[in-house]
Amino acid sequence: MTWEERWHPLREEWVIIAAHRQTRPWSGETIVRPSTDLPAYDPDCYLCPGNLRVGGARNEAYQGTFVFTNDHPCVGPDSPDPAPTGADVYRNRAARGVARVVCYSPRHNLSLAELPAGEIEQLLRVWREQYRELGSRPEIKHVLVFENRGEAVGVSNPHPHCQIYATNFVFKTIETEARVTQRYLAETGQVLFQDILKAERARGERVIFENDTAISFVPYFARYAYEVYVAPKATHPSLAELSERELGDLATVLKETLIRFDNLWQMPFPYVMVLHQAPTDGGGHSGFHFHIEFHPPLRQPNLLKYLAGPEIGGGNFLSDTSPEEKAAELRAAGNVHYRQIDSTGQ
Ligand SMILES: [Zn+2]
Ligand SMILES: [Zn+2]
């Protein structure tokens, strides 16, 4: 079965072929009950403490966060050396790297939005540690931390968790951001993201929440209806450079933002969350400003933003919504999680 990286000569980017993962468990057809009905512990969940995973390993009886190596990795240290491509125009190489899973909490039915701010801060420390450890390995060029949340993005297990892909190449979007921010710094002497923050704070109409050192906003150029950036206000290439105070403020802004997502339609809000941190390829990346991006696929409670002709075929997004209106909706969604209100009967 094919497991390798193939170079896309037209897009100038790597494609990971991980056909061996076809054997991974498929549970996409399971109907997930509303999260209010979910138990705190599910004996059938492969992420809950003490449970057996498909690969045969047993989870620790963990109390806080729990990190383990993905049982069905798309990149791994033992991935095979690929066979010759058979054509000069094609290139390939081994899909080397590390794929891990991070459980946010032993609680099966608790979302990131519902974690206490202190536990979100602790999770930020775990992400920082993973970035440092994996990024320091010479073969690792980038550490991608991301969470796919909800069936709309293909995840049927509600247990709060994210994934880490530490790869031997830099993901395309990060590579573009690193190149663009470096050029902007060379040409203007300014950090591009600082100028974006300045513009967003000057108008304020797309800002969702901010405190002393962190902010969240729907960017002016949002491609998805409820696209949101969460960032420290000071420029740091990655989580590794944040002070303790900045970590705490960032955790607060994350929580404020996530609660508004869930409150918007009183349902677990599906999204792809991704940490954009500087590549660990030995480059300078001084103009790179660490931030977290949310790409929610829904435009309305049961209306997906379909990627079609312009997006898939042409590569540019066509958005049917106004970033200013969507930011106003999120600001107004309230900062007490709807499940908390339900349970206290307010
Ligand atoms: Zn679970
Ligand atoms: Zn970014």
CA distances from 256 to 105, 224, 289 (A): 19, 20, 21
Least confident stretch, 4-8, 134-138, 310-314: 4-8
For the full predicted model, state whether its pTM sits above 0.75.
Answer: yes
What single DSSP character describes residue 110?
-
What's the average model confidence in pLDDT over 300-312? 87
Q: How many whole angstroms from 174 Cα to the centroid of ligand 2? A: 7
Any residues with CB less than 8 A from the CB of 208 and at least 6 apart, and which? 216, 217, 218, 228, 256, 257, 260, 327, 330, 331
Q: How far apart are CA 177 and CA 253, in angstroms?
A: 23
**Residue from 149, 111, 155 nearest 340 by CA:** 111
Distance from Cα 274 to the centre of ligand 1, integer Å: 22
Distance CA 294, CA 101 (A): 19
pLDDT band at 5 (very low <50, low <70, confident <90, very high): confident
CA distance 178 to 171: 11
Query: How does pLDDT run across 60-91, given as a tens digit for each residue?
Result: 999 999 999 999 899 999 999 999 999 999 99
Q: Which ligand has its closest atom nearest to the C-alpha of 289?
A: 2
Q: Calculate how far, in angstroms, residue 160's C-alpha sits from the geometric centre of ligand 1.
A: 8
Which residues keep their CB under 5 angstroms from ion ligand 2?
276
286 Cα–ligand 2 center, Å: 15
Q: Looking at the CA of 44, which ligand is closest? A: 1
Distance (Å) from CA 44 to ligand 1 centroid: 8
**What was the pLDDT predicted at 341?**
80
Q: Is 289 a catalytic residue?
A: no
Q: Which of 108, 161, 236, 285 is catalytic?
A: 161
Nearest ligand to residue 144 Cα: 2
pLDDT, one tens digit per residue, over 122-167 is 999 999 999 999 999 999 999 999 999 998 898 889 999 999 999 9
